[in-house]
Structure 1
């Protein structure tokens, strides 16, 4: 790739017509310190003779990048005309595009040859012709950093006012929330502009502006050292004025996607640019300092610096209508801009820059999206996190006129719709409290979303622009759910997605703002339940005036959550007692098994293969204290999972760029629909899944897995474990616990305390065995299984850097041998127990009368457990139309999970069809010509936006039963003398709970 920067000389192979005047100028520049100045006439042209070296895209290539043309243009005055770029062979034009000149300042174009240009590009192209606008007699343009050909990810080209034809498909793809700025601007406005502003609306505008001001502005002490440092930073930007011309170092996003990877660092150094995030952070620093000081001379200097920064940013093309080639992930780099200009809004109005700045805010925040038709609106955590406050600021900064009312009304409707429980795998929040990004429950992104959206919900609360009650309930539920799968702050490692560090943690501030937003019905100014959660979670060493206000109102910190919760949009079961948490997680044909990037989660293939994690140790409780430790972690052995145990190097993900919908990432899907959980009366619960590993790695590996939760008893069953791998053994991991002290003991029955290090044990159990790890978790393992225990230094790999790691661990697992057929397991965990308790449990299990539970069935069709203490039978029914004939259930026509508690003459029943049912049948493009499943990008699936297809479970029970009370989701379909058929309406894999009472035949 050759770059023409025009920094020193006019290229030797550049020609022009006799009426053109070309020179190298320092009047405007984007890279280096000069550009090509072209004084043109209406018929003028430039012609560069140089091999384009265009290469047609090859289907099946490792990379999806497309050859593209890149150029920067500076225009002195906006024109209703275009530059025409023609590429071809000598006089023959093969392809071309037009570049609109409706701007002042710098603008760029990134144009893919095959997709975006008119005509058919040819590999032998060797001529570029640039034709001047035709409707003006003379003019001047400046050209910088012209690239005849550079490979660019096809997802990233962004259309704007200059090149509105570029990457039209992006408006329907995963990056649309970043890239569709022009589409948002072109939306038809849903509301007319009202005639007047009501007093209530005017009051609301003032209240919201005041709240936003308080949210943004934190007064600071600005010392002379601080002031001089700001002046030094400003000087380093090289901003200077010559008359009406402003110049300085270029300002760019950090990605440099238009540079080839091999040459990227060299070209970045040559550009000598300022990263946009650093630039806008500095603007906020200037604005906050300006608002904090009284010294008029300092204030004058800071105001001049701020205006210069703003003008230079605008001149560099960070302006209305410009997409800078690409704006993917743009919001993370521009957040401070909105806050900075909001703080300086009065000064900008005096400087006659407020309207221009508001236009820029509106454009880059994508505020036009608020006019999206209601049925097309989809929430997005990226937007909540990075631009939501910018959208609101861009509206509040508008003059108090009827147009402002229309925009804020549309904002209210759009935000309300965005927060409602979303269909399919759409973002952002689900009926069960899952918070979605990357088409899955994703706490690491949810945190940013909550940090962005909850302050905005608070800012508009109590006004005519407050969000709808159902939307309020939705975001509130998702926020409160986060405190369930986190303990106390960190979330389960199985929810880590591509960052399995064990350090992911919730933020407390969203709970404060949600509480201050009042109740969903708008009747209470403070939501006491959320406030109580905030008081429990807040860091007590930090001063909180809001906490003092809540306490003064008589609100006290909530107790640690206790109960059982189901989140089937995350294939997640959550069980809590006291201060501890156990989570079980799986995956399905809808929910990916792992998210791996080329430098993230390289070894996390098994992270959701039925992962059962206990978080019970530490103050506060953490993943590290509870046994997870990154260095030395054996990525084969997530607790609860059944895996083929391979050498760590063989677990390394082979991350590919599958199609144009995705980047270099791995998000593997199963072909099984049965995965999820169920809860009964909020106290007990279960999890089950059909495990089938993707054939990219081990397609023959299958298992049927279940976990049942009763009080502190966690019963884990597996059956039909099979694969054809004869090289490596298949295992089910009981625990893998980091040893901070090599001497931490493991107890094996009462006689054996294992203090040795290293230590290894393997035995086929002739009798049941109990274990007690050093984290107060007991394990009961029935006879007939192969138990292995290890205490050793483990050698592994860093999940992102791929470097060698090591650590000391105690591990226990059940072996299933090589290439198992119909393998199985059973074990029970007692959480936060001691030797006496686990020994007593083990003894009780030897007696039919005293056994706390019994396994009634464990095979391909069903896993059925009865917990005697709770008089509850739990059924994982893997197959339809199977004769169950166990306990109360005779049969069912649908794979389901069912729990039944017996209470005198009543049955309390909870049931779920765990299939999200986003599509039926199979997708042919997930299979090759031989019928083998292939890797596809989940982003390429049409069904990710589909609604859940309703289903009905026909459940046949023993005895004659009647439905007690009203229940919309269950009805008696048939009654006989000794049987009852209950029809249970299911959707979205949401549990249905109801009560039956004994009737007379």
Structure 2
């Protein structure tokens, strides 16, 4: 990084022409206590004679960073002109850009040489020429921190009113929701201006104001101690006024992306800045105290401090039209600004600052996005979490007028569109209840989204601006789904993405606001189903006014959810009975297998290789009590997965920055389309996947895996397990469970507990056996397999820091040997059972007439199981047209999942094509010249935003059947086949299951 910081003297290699003058000034400063003062005339120039050390980006580099120029400029009065930065050699100019002077205060620009400037940068550039604006006779600019060359992530440069041509591509990329402030500002209003404000709209403004203020203004008693604390904190910012000049410590985002990583902490210390989040949090603190006290002297002091902070923020460039070089992830650092200024709106109006502040709110919240064309609107959890309230606040503080009506109407339309089930892998909510971020179902981010969006749905409910019924229902479904894949509060570890701590948990507050928002159709002021869910989840020690209100209405807490649910946009099956939960998770060519960053989830590559997790223990039920414990966890052994068992260091992710669309992250895709689940009558279900690990690590690993859920019986099958690794064994894990007490026993085919520690034993099974872990889960393992059981202290690595960890665990797995070919497995889990229960089950399985289930088929083409208690046959059909001929199903022309329950003269059938069909055929740029799949960023894939392509399953049943009713997407084919068969055509989209009933044609 080549940087000029102006302290006490002018650098010798910096010169100006005779018609201008340079000096070191203490009047204005950004970093340090000085700046370079340049008094110019219309033809003046300022020149820096210094090699720029420019180097172009090289394809295949580890990092995507690009050589960039950075500058800070102070302008005393807005000018309708530009200052031009030219870079070249001798008397020539190789590249340049214009910096608009339409502002007052400090502004910055981050400009990439190759992408953002006019002309072609050259390796030998050794001169920077700054040319003064030409339209005025003379003027003065102040320059602070002139960075001639630094390397910056190409995603981060942000265009604004000063440099509108920077990173134009950013408006189309994953960071657009942060960076596209200027594009949002330039959108034309969606609706024409109404002639007046109706009575209904006026009432809506009043109601929303009242609710919003109650939402953000906490009850508080202000004390002398509060005032002393606030004064001390305010003094820490060193804000002072000298005439119309206000100065103080610089206010920064925490990232410092324009400084090399190894220098960032040192640079932060040198600049002695204040983090924007701390600054705006303190503004909120002052605003709440101001609104909470009646002491006039305190109110005067608080108001003066607030106005000084607001003016200093504006002077520092945190104001309308400025993007501060970058605003990526900006919302997390600015979100308290909006409620703070909202609470002080009347005082701002009296001080003549309301209009300026409203413009700043509108700009930084990206409120202009509400006017985007409907087809371009995409929901975004980051926005719901951090700036949605800011957008609404920026509209509410407008004076009641036709313009306010137009903006709030546009806001309602935009928000409704954002909340509808999104096509393809677009954010934020899916038809199956998945909540999307980072191009996958992501509960850790969904929480913030729910915390942001549910209060807004409530604020607008019952008014002229309420969100659309379908949009309301979409969020409602996603929120209620979260309490299905969480138990009671923590969600499945397989859903933890890059945070495999086992501590991720839902928030109860969104359920409260969703209940208060009423039913989606707007007919009931309280949504009783959501209210009941809220009451079950509500922490008993925190009984609330809302909880008591629901009780008075006769609403009671719901029972623990029971049933089976399919979420194929998450490749997830959810099965619940009593108070326990089991989830099965996979991945595909659309849904990444893992998310790893350079300091997060470094060992988690196997987390969705058919992960089957049981959550059944704890008060309340949680991951730790149910067996998951980070320290000492063997990252090879996620329950249910089939993996090549490697030394922990060899599992460490090699995280790369693969293209300009992504950062340093790993989100590997398979090349298989078959992964997902199916449910029947909301009670039982199945999961299946074609496992193929990405060639970045173990591309030869393949398997066909299925999981069938019937009541408390979970039948796990695997076939065609293969790879070419002759060094490390391939295994399928039954369980890995933390032993909080090393004396906790397990049982293996005997009523005598195994308490020995450490303990290990390998069983080559000549006959079927049973196993019981210390968490009340029984395992039936048929003969012909190799079972290993272990109780030991395990040594591992921390998922984020690489530190060594250890812990005591019990584990069991089936061994397939090194480099297996056509390997297979079968085992069944009984959840919440005891020794007698699993022993009886094992005995019953030895005789066909008493066996609870029968495996009818387990090969490359199909896994088929019949559960006798439920009279249900479940089919995982990995290949099409395989001549099934099992049960009532003769054949299917598409890889599919089918479940059929026999009920007297009817068949209840559910079927799905689990392929999301976001694109067809092979995506060739994912493969090298030898046909091997290569790592790509999912953000670079055009199909991410593509809608699911409908597909048709032709299902052939034995016998002559008719439809009992009209069912969405299901019909009898015109061609009924021969006399002994019935052909049914099922149209699938978004991998959503179709369920229907057929009756015998008498």
Per the shorter chain, which TM-score range?
Answer: over 0.9
1:10 aligns with 2:14: no
1:51 aligns with 2:51: yes
Q: Tell me the equivalent position of 1:565.
A: 565
For residues 409 and 119 of structure 1, the distance between their equivalents in structure 2, rounded to whole angstroms, comes to 44
Match of 1:992 among 991, 994, 1002: 994
Q: Tell me the equivalent position of 1:432.
A: 432
SS of the residue aligned with 1:875?
strand
For residues 69 and 829 of structure 2, the distance between their equivalents in structure 1, rounded to whole angstroms, comes to 61
Q: Tell me the equivalent position of 2:845.
A: 845
Q: Tell me the equivalent position of 1:471.
A: 471
Cα displacement (A) at 1:751: 4.0
Cα displacement (A) at 1:47: 0.6
Cα displacement (A) at 1:229: 1.2
Q: Tell me the equivalent position of 1:159.
A: 159
Q: Tell me the equivalent position of 1:117.
A: 117
CA contact (8 A) 2:16 2:46 kept: yes
Q: Tell me the equivalent position of 1:269.
A: 269
SS of the residue aligned with 1:754?
coil
Q: Deviations over 1:346-379 (max 9, x none)?
A: 0100010000000000000000000000111000
Q: Tell me the equivalent position of 1:687.
A: 687
For residues 661 and 453 of structure 1, the distance between their equivalents in structure 2, rounded to whole angstroms, comes to 27
Q: What RMSD over aligned residues (CA atoms) do the two structures have, in Å? A: 0.6
For residues 120 and 757 of structure 2, the distance between their equivalents in structure 1, rounded to whole angstroms, comes to 69
CA contact (8 A) 2:969 2:988 kept: yes
For residues 527 and 480 of structure 1, the distance between their equivalents in structure 2, rounded to whole angstroms, comes to 12
For residues 54 and 244 of structure 2, the distance between their equivalents in structure 1, rounded to whole angstroms, comes to 40
Cα displacement (A) at 1:2: 2.6
Q: Tell me the equivalent position of 1:646.
A: 646
SS of the residue aligned with 2:873?
strand
CA contact (8 A) 1:113 1:121 kept: yes
For residues 684 and 30 of structure 1, the distance between their equivalents in structure 2, rounded to whole angstroms, comes to 64
CA contact (8 A) 2:432 2:566 kept: yes
Q: Tell me the equivalent position of 1:704.
A: 704
Cα displacement (A) at 1:750: 2.5
Cα displacement (A) at 1:90: 2.1
SS of the residue aligned with 1:882?
coil
Q: Tell me the equivalent position of 2:315.
A: 315
Q: Tell me the equivalent position of 2:337.
A: 337
Cα displacement (A) at 1:219: 2.4
CA contact (8 A) 2:251 2:313 kept: yes
Q: Deviations over 1:822-881 (max 9, x none)?
A: 000000000000111111111100110010000000000000000000000000000012
CA contact (8 A) 1:219 1:291 kept: no
For residues 849 and 495 of structure 1, the distance between their equivalents in structure 2, rounded to whole angstroms, comes to 40
Q: Deviations over 1:678-704 (max 9, x none)?
A: 000000000000000000000000000
Q: Deviations over 1:55-90 (max 9, x none)?
A: 111110111000000000000000100000001112
CA contact (8 A) 1:583 1:612 kept: yes
Q: Tell me the equivalent position of 1:919.
A: 919
Cα displacement (A) at 1:220: 1.2
Consecutive unaligned residues of structure 2, counting only runs of 5 or more, are none
For residues 543 and 968 of structure 2, the distance between their equivalents in structure 1, rounded to whole angstroms, comes to 48
Q: Tell me the equivalent position of 1:760.
A: 760
CA contact (8 A) 1:960 1:998 kept: yes
For residues 639 and 576 of structure 1, the distance between their equivalents in structure 2, rounded to whole angstroms, comes to 17
CA contact (8 A) 2:968 2:994 kept: no
Match of 2:983 among 972, 981, 984: 981
Q: Deviations over 1:18-76 (max 9, x none)?
A: 12121111111110011011111111110110110101111101110000000000000
CA contact (8 A) 2:875 2:897 kept: yes
Q: Tell me the equivalent position of 1:719.
A: 719
SS of the residue aligned with 1:628?
coil
For residues 95 and 411 of structure 1, the distance between their equivalents in structure 2, rounded to whole angstroms, comes to 41
Which shifted more, 374-383 or 745-754?
745-754
Q: Tell me the equivalent position of 2:353.
A: 353
Cα displacement (A) at 1:191: 0.6
Cα displacement (A) at 1:753: 1.6
For residues 555 and 536 of structure 2, the distance between their equivalents in structure 1, rounded to whole angstroms, comes to 11
The ranges of structure 1 where at least 4 consecutive aligned residues each deviate by more than 4 angstroms after the TM superposition are none
Q: Tell me the equivalent position of 1:282.
A: 282
For residues 594 and 421 of structure 2, the distance between their equivalents in structure 1, rounded to whole angstroms, comes to 24
For residues 400 and 171 of structure 1, the distance between their equivalents in structure 2, rounded to whole angstroms, comes to 32
For residues 772 and 895 of structure 1, the distance between their equivalents in structure 2, rounded to whole angstroms, comes to 35
Q: Tell me the equivalent position of 1:442.
A: 442
Q: Deviations over 1:741-775 (max 9, x none)?
A: 00100011134421100000102101111011000
Cα displacement (A) at 1:223: 1.8
For residues 745 and 263 of structure 1, the distance between their equivalents in structure 2, rounded to whole angstroms, comes to 53
For residues 120 and 270 of structure 2, the distance between their equivalents in structure 1, rounded to whole angstroms, comes to 33
CA contact (8 A) 1:239 1:312 kept: yes
1:491 aligns with 2:491: yes
For residues 744 and 854 of structure 1, the distance between their equivalents in structure 2, rounded to whole angstroms, comes to 33
For residues 450 and 262 of structure 2, the distance between their equivalents in structure 1, rounded to whole angstroms, comes to 38
Q: Tell me the equivalent position of 1:887.
A: 887
Which shifted more, 968-977 or 548-557?
968-977
SS of the residue aligned with 2:679?
strand
SS of the residue aligned with 1:721?
strand
Give matches, 1:33-182, under 5 Å: 33-182=33-182
For residues 453 and 177 of structure 2, the distance between their equivalents in structure 1, rounded to whole angstroms, comes to 16
CA contact (8 A) 1:492 1:502 kept: yes
Which shifted more, 217-226 or 804-813?
217-226
SS of the residue aligned with 2:541?
coil
For residues 796 and 998 of structure 1, the distance between their equivalents in structure 2, rounded to whole angstroms, comes to 58
For residues 2 and 679 of structure 1, the distance between their equivalents in structure 2, rounded to whole angstroms, comes to 61
For residues 753 and 886 of structure 1, the distance between their equivalents in structure 2, rounded to whole angstroms, comes to 41
For residues 587 and 129 of structure 1, the distance between their equivalents in structure 2, rounded to whole angstroms, comes to 54
Which shifted more, 18-27 or 619-628?
18-27
Q: Deviations over 1:286-309 (max 9, x none)?
A: 000111111111111110000000
For residues 654 and 524 of structure 2, the distance between their equivalents in structure 1, rounded to whole angstroms, comes to 53
For residues 56 and 481 of structure 1, the distance between their equivalents in structure 2, rounded to whole angstroms, comes to 48
For residues 967 and 283 of structure 1, the distance between their equivalents in structure 2, rounded to whole angstroms, comes to 57
Cα displacement (A) at 1:193: 1.1
Give matches, 1:582-731, under 5 Å: 582-731=582-731
For residues 972 and 61 of structure 1, the distance between their equivalents in structure 2, rounded to whole angstroms, comes to 56
Q: Tell me the equivalent position of 2:389.
A: 389
Cα displacement (A) at 1:986: 0.6
Which shifted more, 10-19 or 274-283?
10-19
Cα displacement (A) at 1:977: 1.6
SS of the residue aligned with 1:869?
coil
Cα displacement (A) at 1:668: 0.1
Q: Deviations over 1:473-519 (max 9, x none)?
A: 00000000000000000000000000000000000000000000000
CA contact (8 A) 1:862 1:879 kept: yes
For residues 912 and 16 of structure 2, the distance between their equivalents in structure 1, rounded to whole angstroms, comes to 73
Q: Tell me how many residue pairs correspond in the alignment.
A: 1000
For residues 340 and 219 of structure 1, the distance between their equivalents in structure 2, rounded to whole angstroms, comes to 15
For residues 751 and 116 of structure 2, the distance between their equivalents in structure 1, rounded to whole angstroms, comes to 75
Which shifted more, 882-891 or 344-353?
882-891
For residues 199 and 473 of structure 2, the distance between their equivalents in structure 1, rounded to whole angstroms, comes to 28
Q: Tell me the equivalent position of 1:297.
A: 297
Q: Deviations over 1:144-175 (max 9, x none)?
A: 00000000000000000000000000000000
CA contact (8 A) 2:528 2:555 kept: yes
For residues 87 and 294 of structure 2, the distance between their equivalents in structure 1, rounded to whole angstroms, comes to 59
Which shifted more, 257-266 or 502-511?
257-266
Q: Deviations over 1:912-960 (max 9, x none)?
A: 0000000000011000111111000000000000010001100111101
For residues 794 and 627 of structure 1, the distance between their equivalents in structure 2, rounded to whole angstroms, comes to 14
Q: Tell me the equivalent position of 1:537.
A: 537
CA contact (8 A) 1:424 1:945 kept: yes
Cα displacement (A) at 1:189: 1.3
Q: Tell me the equivalent position of 2:580.
A: 580
Cα displacement (A) at 1:968: 2.5
TM-score normalised to structure 2 length: 0.99
Q: Tell me the equivalent position of 2:244.
A: 244
